[in-house]
Amino acid sequence: MKNKLFDIWDNNKASINAWLSIPNSFTAEAFGKMGWDSVTIDMQHGQNDYSTAIAMLQGLSNSDTVPMTRVPWNEPGIIMKMLDLGVQGIIAPMINNKADCEKFVSYCYYPPIGQRSFGPMRAQVAYGSDYYQHANKNIISLAMIETKEAVDNLDAILSVPNLTGIYIGPADMSSSYGLPPKFDVKEDPVFSNIKMIVNKARGKNKIAGIHNGSVKYLKEMIEIGFQFTSLLSDFRIMTSHAESLLKELKNVDTKSDNTSAY
Amino acid sequence: MKNKLFDIWDNNKASINAWLSIPNSFTAEAFGKMGWDSVTIDMQHGQNDYSTAIAMLQGLSNSDTVPMTRVPWNEPGIIMKMLDLGVQGIIAPMINNKADCEKFVSYCYYPPIGQRSFGPMRAQVAYGSDYYQHANKNIISLAMIETKEAVDNLDAILSVPNLTGIYIGPADMSSSYGLPPKFDVKEDPVFSNIKMIVNKARGKNKIAGIHNGSVKYLKEMIEIGFQFTSLLSDFRIMTSHAESLLKELKNVDTKSDNTSAY
Amino acid sequence: MKNKLFDIWDNNKASINAWLSIPNSFTAEAFGKMGWDSVTIDMQHGQNDYSTAIAMLQGLSNSDTVPMTRVPWNEPGIIMKMLDLGVQGIIAPMINNKADCEKFVSYCYYPPIGQRSFGPMRAQVAYGSDYYQHANKNIISLAMIETKEAVDNLDAILSVPNLTGIYIGPADMSSSYGLPPKFDVKEDPVFSNIKMIVNKARGKNKIAGIHNGSVKYLKEMIEIGFQFTSLLSDFRIMTSHAESLLKELKNVDTKSDNTSAY
Amino acid sequence: MKNKLFDIWDNNKASINAWLSIPNSFTAEAFGKMGWDSVTIDMQHGQNDYSTAIAMLQGLSNSDTVPMTRVPWNEPGIIMKMLDLGVQGIIAPMINNKADCEKFVSYCYYPPIGQRSFGPMRAQVAYGSDYYQHANKNIISLAMIETKEAVDNLDAILSVPNLTGIYIGPADMSSSYGLPPKFDVKEDPVFSNIKMIVNKARGKNKIAGIHNGSVKYLKEMIEIGFQFTSLLSDFRIMTSHAESLLKELKNVDTKSDNTSAY
Amino acid sequence: MKNKLFDIWDNNKASINAWLSIPNSFTAEAFGKMGWDSVTIDMQHGQNDYSTAIAMLQGLSNSDTVPMTRVPWNEPGIIMKMLDLGVQGIIAPMINNKADCEKFVSYCYYPPIGQRSFGPMRAQVAYGSDYYQHANKNIISLAMIETKEAVDNLDAILSVPNLTGIYIGPADMSSSYGLPPKFDVKEDPVFSNIKMIVNKARGKNKIAGIHNGSVKYLKEMIEIGFQFTSLLSDFRIMTSHAESLLKELKNVDTKSDNTSAY
Amino acid sequence: MKNKLFDIWDNNKASINAWLSIPNSFTAEAFGKMGWDSVTIDMQHGQNDYSTAIAMLQGLSNSDTVPMTRVPWNEPGIIMKMLDLGVQGIIAPMINNKADCEKFVSYCYYPPIGQRSFGPMRAQVAYGSDYYQHANKNIISLAMIETKEAVDNLDAILSVPNLTGIYIGPADMSSSYGLPPKFDVKEDPVFSNIKMIVNKARGKNKIAGIHNGSVKYLKEMIEIGFQFTSLLSDFRIMTSHAESLLKELKNVDTKSDNTSAY
């Protein structure tokens, strides 16, 4: 097991991440084969749960993409179960302060760093019987910064040892500051927060990540220093293109708004 | 999205709620079509979980019944996942004090009321892309009052802003007071609690709800002011009738007791 | 393995059969515990398939009810897979002539009687490693008589060796004769067919079975010689009772018609 | 139940059909909401089977799209099970001669037209208890013309009473004539067959349908008389757009070829 | 309901426990039939979750083995849901102090002992309508001792009333003390801890349990006083034997190490 | 796509095949990783069906084992669906004469060899967009010889062009000749049949395969010319070893007989 994203980041490059909301192992496998640097199974707002994630991760193992997950909440049971399945990175929502973050990091790593329990059934099958020796240095932990409280506690959160980095949820951060929730935010204070966060993160040698609603915005985010960048989701990509084709066929307006949700 | 139950309640009427313990989307769809004002998927004592609830909610959308759920516990991950799926009401078990209740309410509503995270994937498909604008005023939050501790803290619980109402669990309340757990309780102190609770709730403009084991008791509860009334469950309705038919065929006694569990 | 129904029939009594349309293992288990002589998983018009039947049969093994199935069609693959799972009886739809019936019987029994393939994985776990020795004499095969063609070929069908008996589908037989499809038929020629069939079957030492929509009609059918009698279905029992309770609560008419479909 | 496609066709217009290969109820629901005239669940080359189709059909009922299916083969068990679930149209692959076609039609319709067995469990819940009265005139039956043998037998196939129409599989027809399998064929003899078939079908008052790989080709097919036109599939729409976005991000070539398979 | 393990323990004997990591109801049923005193469904490191456990427990009911589970974490929602399904024992991971243990015990038992919520749907079907009367005295609660913190707090943990006993996780305890995680530990301080813990537990009339990687070590553990002893897992038993057979066939080395994980 | 078994056979060596009866993707993945030359998902007597096979095949793709399946019956729908999923070999049961065999071969190969329908969704994702060009020469077709009728028709069956080879089912062949069904047969006429079949097959340049119940017998079969050799099944390997360990622990007799069924 060698987590490819660390190589990308060590070369000061940005990685491109796909986002899976559809609980299906074949669509997961197809995304793995496309060439995304990593693919994240969204268990929070996507329709995935533990049982559906098993086969999705098996499908992702058919390529060299890095399998990750966003868990529904900062809860040890599900984080450890997903790591046992072989995910190489965890994104935890709503990490609002240092205590949240310390707990999160403790769930992701074996002692002495953390309190992860031992029993990596599929991880050993997928990565070999020496998985335990390599796990702690190959697991990515990303704390979501998506509320005013988290922004206010940013320095403390970034000070947590062994945290790999942070991941900005632009929709929730907007909502928290009283703005309509959406991706690709250019309005302050959210946009200035985004710029501030990436700078602070890099200053503390943490990876900065963000969710994006368009290729254009994603590229801008890479420009200003983000190194873990996600684009839309399998579901949005499918429905926006299907609606666009139907519009060509029927001359009707498309119905969805890609920037409004995963 | 317009939650029909608020209309019923605003007209000072009571709504009738069906209760689903069987994890099956077709039986859910059939209940939706019957004409119950709302249908609640029980994830606590019923055999439902997140994955099985997806299709059940799709089946319920084929009618104008209001889809609700009782979650297994007052835990933000599952509450927010169910809201994203499009449930219009959450019943949370074992809300025993004000702190429990404040957390519960915070999970159900977007800022500034609460801390619900944004990403209503199916809710937007089912209710339209303006779901976010209408969600906070259409989501029902019902805190279960089912222990002596909760009864003792009733005033504090009812004082929590934005809580829609309370829901009495007669079996657990009986158990908490040392009585055998059952529905349709007439014994004190549980019965007097029931009457006290409905009065206090209405006095604070909160909806009062209760689970019932018979049509007769349910009608009495409406008489004394309850406005959200559930009857038995899909499972109990099926097995009690099947046992009654088998008894006619075989002249044997029925085996189950409808008032003893969901 | 000892099929209890043969004992009932050898004592010249009738067995009472429950009918499962809902693909759920817990409702199956509950029906098993109630005391029906047999329980039939309907894979034709019910929503069951092979995968859902596995756990249903495990649930049924928790009682001494006889597990049976109606297969979707007279096709060897599914008949043999269900027998391997441990069902003790097969009902095959639309057996319209002797050739259909001979094929059906051949699928149900090991050589030299038939051509059933050996590999009773769950049957051996459930009934013991000597399952093979006892299978042929304990498996029930019931051919459905439900078209005019089948009625016309009745003598030939009843002449097939090792066929246990026949099972009348009153709704399809009505449809075949140009009558509206329903259970509990009293109209000729279907009703006179029913009486003729039970007499011919008994005359050839075959078991006669029929599906019924009410306790009253079922008892009449036993009176005239039927020995395998089914009543409604789990789904109809649940929905008819739920609609009746809702009617009491809301004073609205029930919506379904129990005699019109499984 | 009123099948909307007949209205479109009676007005001499063409209907636009979506194609589902992904076995997921939420993506199905999303396609239903988009506004396609019909949505077809592909059980032959798509990854759908009976169990996954149940919830997909429930999701499709949340809109007024017409739910259809392509079955894996011309087999009565699965055709009747899908009709019981409420599909309003069946596409059967590899109908190569008149006998195949007569069997196919007989499976789709109740007597006296065909031999469909009665037991429309979900169809009655979805469309009402009078489903039986309306089923025969609202079910669409489309026979796939996709081999040289079928082309040679076209007149005989089109002569089968109650067949709604035919559906051209351009990839298999190409393969049958020794050409590489693909959609949007312009090479003869397949292209001349396509033109010949639509003319013959319309001459016999049968609906002509075809699967298409692009908006442009689909519109040409409508021009020449096709009235049931499908476009790509959910899977192809998703992967082609995802690959195109990834190419923008990474400047790499896309990997798939939309015209090569569903 | 009568929990057979208490009889074994009351006779001062040790019980033998099987361990299920594979989420499959048929393999569960097969283990139940073999004759293990109890069978534990592992929801922490095994691939089981709530939905897959339903049928596994139904399969286990086909024998007189005692069904148990290890939950993913000390969380009330899942503990109570599993008890409602009819498990007769709960193993909770990472019980590190008295407060953890008191919470755990409170989740397992009805008032007045604990706060378990009433609604034992499957438990009543499986064990009878008097389940409530017998539940508290038949449920086993085992707290996992698997960290240095837990060892340090052992006396306080053992002092919790109504806790049935403790269960040692040798791999995690090794990891917590800086040793490589494995079963069948002979190295100090873990081995001396194991001996100390069994003595302290028995001195307080608590059952001591431990997970083992070989028959030999398990027998030694019984010798020194352990009364609840688990061996490997379904998955390890299958893969180690399959690898051994393949080695015989191919003369290659086996790949897995049975003592390294469940 | 390059089917590795053809290389082994071209070098005049025998391949070793694992057999999966348990419908689980993780156990499938584990077998793939062990080093078996091929792994066959048994859909006839194993508990697998189409839906469960999807993830199992994804798990198998994580190694270079050759994925195969035994279908429930010689039926085109399921054979083509499994090929679309990416299996590289089909074993068809009960091929008793030349007509059966010609149909079977026609289902496995694209025109002009056969009538396989085009739409290899997962096969293209797994093996590349040029899958069609390589499919016909890389798919293995094995006809099961397991009845007296098949033995009598052996020459005709072996004469079918493009058939890869035959596969002996020793249990069914025993049953067909009036012997108790089992593996590792040494009794005549079955044993002499086995020797005759391998010789005739090799004489016609067809691969000969057989199912075995022990390492010893399998090696003998390789000695006499079999080149495709299967051993027991995942289920038998697991249960026999588990029973053997339990016997060591409890000094009780094992219950199962490995040679009696898959």
Q: Chains D and F: how many Cβ contacts under 8 Å?
A: 71
**Chain F CB within 8 Å of residue C121 CB:** yes
- Residues of F annotated as catalytic (active site), given as ranges: 45
What does the pLDDT profile of chain B (262 residues) look like in tens digits? Answer: 899 999 999 999 999 999 999 999 999 999 999 999 999 999 999 999 999 999 999 999 999 999 999 999 999 999 999 999 999 999 999 999 999 999 999 999 999 999 999 999 999 999 999 999 999 999 999 999 999 999 999 999 999 999 999 999 999 999 999 999 999 999 999 999 999 999 999 999 999 999 999 999 999 999 999 999 999 999 999 999 999 999 999 875 444 555 566 7
**Residues of chain C contacting residue F72, judged by C-beta atoms under 8 Å apart:** 77-78, 80-81
Asked if residue C57 has pLDDT above 90, the reply is: yes
Mean pLDDT along residues C212-235:
98
> At residue D13, what are phi and psi to the nearest 5 degrees?
-105, 170
**Chain A CB within 8 Å of residue D160 CB:** no
Asked if residue E118 has pLDDT above 80, the reply is: yes
Predicted local confidence at residue B262, as pLDDT: 72
Q: Which of B21, B36, B240, B245 should one mutate to test binding to chain C, selecting the residue with the greatest count of C CBs within 10 A? A: B245
Predicted local confidence at residue E94, as pLDDT: 97
Q: How confident is the model at residue C202 (pLDDT cuts 50, 70, 90)?
A: very high
Average of per-residue pLDDT values in chain C: 96
Q: Chains C and E: how many Cβ contacts under 8 Å?
A: 46
Q: How confident is the model at residue D175 (pLDDT cuts 50, 70, 90)?
A: very high
Q: Which of the residues D45, D134, D211, D241 is marked catalytic?
A: D45
Q: Do E75 and A77 touch (CB under 8 A)?
A: yes
Asked if residue F257 has pLDDT above 70, the reply is: no
**Residues of chain E contacting residue B146, judged by C-beta atoms under 8 Å apart:** 117
Q: Do E30 and F240 touch (CB under 8 A)?
A: no
Q: How confident is the model at residue C216 (pLDDT cuts 50, 70, 90)?
A: very high
Average of per-residue pLDDT values in chain F: 96
Q: Do D242 and A31 touch (CB under 8 A)?
A: yes
Asked if residue E251 has pLDDT above 90, the reply is: no
For residue E28, give the chain F residue with the closest CA.
Answer: F239
Pair B222, B179: CB distance under 8 Å? no
**Chain C CB within 8 Å of residue B13 CB:** no
Do E and C count as touching (3 or more CB pairs closer than 8 A)? yes
Torsion sign, CA atoms C248, C252, C257, C261: negative
From the number of C-beta atoms within 10 Å of its C-beta (0-12, 13-18, 19+), residue F2 rates as: exposed
**Residues of chain B contacting residue D26, judged by C-beta atoms under 8 Å apart:** 54, 58, 121-122, 125
Q: How confident is the model at residue E257 (pLDDT cuts 50, 70, 90)?
A: low
Closest chain C C-alpha to F254 CA, distance in angstroms: 12
Cβ-nearest to D51 among C46, C49, C261: C49
Q: Do B16 and C249 touch (CB under 8 A)?
A: yes
CA nearest D40: which of D233, D170, D261? Answer: D233
What is the C-alpha separation between B193 and C2, in angstroms, rounded? 55
Predicted local confidence at residue C259, as pLDDT: 55
**Residues of chain D contacting residue F73, judged by C-beta atoms under 8 Å apart:** none
Element containing residue A133 per DSSP (H, E): helix A131-138
Q: What pLDDT digit, counting tens, does each position of B157-200 carry? A: 999 999 999 999 999 999 999 999 999 999 999 999 999 999 99
Q: What pLDDT digit, counting tens, does each position of E96-114 carry? A: 999 999 999 999 999 999 9
Predicted local confidence at residue E222, as pLDDT: 98
Q: Do A121 and E262 touch (CB under 8 A)?
A: yes
- Residues of B annotated as catalytic (active site), given as ranges: 45
What is the C-alpha separation between A86 and A67, in angstroms, rounded? 8
Asked if residue F232 has pLDDT above 70, the reply is: yes
For residue D45, give the chain F residue with the closest CA.
Answer: F119
Q: Do B117 and A169 touch (CB under 8 A)?
A: yes
What is the C-alpha separation between A108 and E165, in angstroms, rounded? 29
Pair D212, D184: CB distance under 8 Å? yes
> Count H helices, E strands: chain F?
13, 8
Closest chain E C-alpha to F207 CA, distance in angstroms: 20
* CB proximity list for D183: less than 8 A, separation 6 or greater: D170, D171, D211, D212, D213, D214, D217, D258, D259, D260
Q: Strands B140-145 and B165-168: what pairing? A: parallel
Helix axis angle, C50-60 to C25-34, nearest 10°? 30
pTM as predicted: 0.97
Element containing residue F12 per DSSP (H, E): none
Closest chain C C-alpha to E142 CA, distance in angstroms: 27
Pair C59, E54: CB distance under 8 Å? no
Pair E74, E93: CB distance under 8 Å? yes
Q: Do C45 and D112 touch (CB under 8 A)?
A: no
Cβ-nearest to E261 among A78, A110, A121: A121
Q: What pLDDT digit, counting tens, does each position of F181-211 carry? A: 999 999 999 999 999 999 999 999 999 999 9
Predicted local confidence at residue C257, as pLDDT: 53
Q: Which domains does chain C have, with CATH numbers?
A: 4-250 (3.20.20.60)
Predicted local confidence at residue A262, as pLDDT: 72
Lowest mean pLDDT among A53-57, C238-242, D255-259, E222-226: D255-259
**Chain D CB within 8 Å of residue F188 CB:** no
Q: What pLDDT digit, counting tens, does each position of F73-105 carry? A: 999 999 999 999 999 999 999 999 999 999 999
Asked if residue C142 has pLDDT above 80, the reply is: yes
Predicted local confidence at residue A254, as pLDDT: 44
Cβ-nearest to A49 among B50, B112, B119: B50
CA nearest E156: which of E200, E199, E198, E112? Answer: E200
Joined together, the tokens standing for residue E91 give 């193993």
Cβ-nearest to A62 among F26, F54, F126: F126
**Chain C CB within 8 Å of residue F19 CB:** no
**Chain F CB within 8 Å of residue A54 CB:** yes
Predicted local confidence at residue F260, as pLDDT: 62
* CB proximity list for F84: less than 8 A, separation 6 or greater: D45, F119, F120, F121, F122, F123
CA torsion angle C173 C178 C183 C189 (round to 10): -70
Predicted local confidence at residue F1, as pLDDT: 84
For residue B53, give the chain A residue with the closest CA.
Answer: A47
Closest chain C C-alpha to B213 CA, distance in angstroms: 11
Joined together, the tokens standing for residue E41 give 């469904």
Predicted local confidence at residue E259, as pLDDT: 55
Q: Do C129 and F235 touch (CB under 8 A)?
A: no
Predicted local confidence at residue C261, as pLDDT: 67
Mean pLDDT along residues D153-158:
98
Distance (Å) of CA E197 to CA A111, E150, E156: 22, 11, 13
Predicted local confidence at residue E254, as pLDDT: 44
Q: What pLDDT digit, counting tens, does each position of D73-129 carry? A: 999 999 999 999 999 999 999 999 999 999 999 999 999 999 999 999 999 999 999
**How many CB atoms lie under 10 A from the CB of residue C113?**
15
Q: Interior CA angle at C160 toward C156 and C162, to 5°? A: 160
What is the C-alpha separation between A46 and A79, in angstroms, rounded? 16
**Residues of chain D contacting residue F54, judged by C-beta atoms under 8 Å apart:** 47
Lowest mean pLDDT among A25-39, B244-258, E184-198, F108-122: B244-258
Mean pLDDT along residues C211-217:
97
Predicted local confidence at residue F252, as pLDDT: 55
Average of per-residue pLDDT values in chain E: 96
Pair A210, A190: CB distance under 8 Å? no
**Chain A CB within 8 Å of residue D35 CB:** yes
Predicted local confidence at residue D1, as pLDDT: 84
Cβ-nearest to D111 among C78, C175, C257: C175
Q: Chains C and F: how many Cβ contacts under 8 Å?
A: 71
Cβ-nearest to F49 among C50, C76, C132: C50
Q: To the nearest whole percent, how much of chain E has pLDDT over 90? A: 95
Question: What one-letter code names the amino acid at C242?
Answer: A
The question of ipTM being above 0.85 is answered as: yes
Q: Do E234 and F232 touch (CB under 8 A)?
A: no
For residue E170, give the chain A residue with the closest CA.
Answer: A118
Q: Do F34 and E239 touch (CB under 8 A)?
A: yes
Cβ-nearest to F25 among A54, A62, A126: A54
Do F and A count as touching (3 or more CB pairs closer than 8 A)? yes
**Chain F CB within 8 Å of residue A55 CB:** yes
**Residues of chain A contacting residue D18, judged by C-beta atoms under 8 Å apart:** 242
Asked if residue E256 has pLDDT above 60, the reply is: no
Joined together, the tokens standing for residue F191 give 């044993």
Closest chain F C-alpha to D59 CA, distance in angstroms: 19
**How many CB atoms lie under 10 A from the CB of residue A257?**
14
Question: pLDDT higher for E181 or B262?
Answer: E181
Asked if residue E82 has pLDDT above 50, the reply is: yes
Do A and D count as touching (3 or more CB pairs closer than 8 A)? yes
Asked if residue A209 has pLDDT above 80, the reply is: yes
Question: In the complex, which subunits touch A with 3 or more CB pairs below 8 angstroms?
Answer: B, D, E, F
Q: To the nearest whole percent, how much of chain F has pLDDT over 90? A: 95
For residue C48, give the chain D residue with the closest CA.
Answer: D51
CA nearest C82: which of C111, C102, C52? Answer: C52
Q: Do C44 and D80 touch (CB under 8 A)?
A: yes
**Residues of chain F contacting residue C85, judged by C-beta atoms under 8 Å apart:** 47
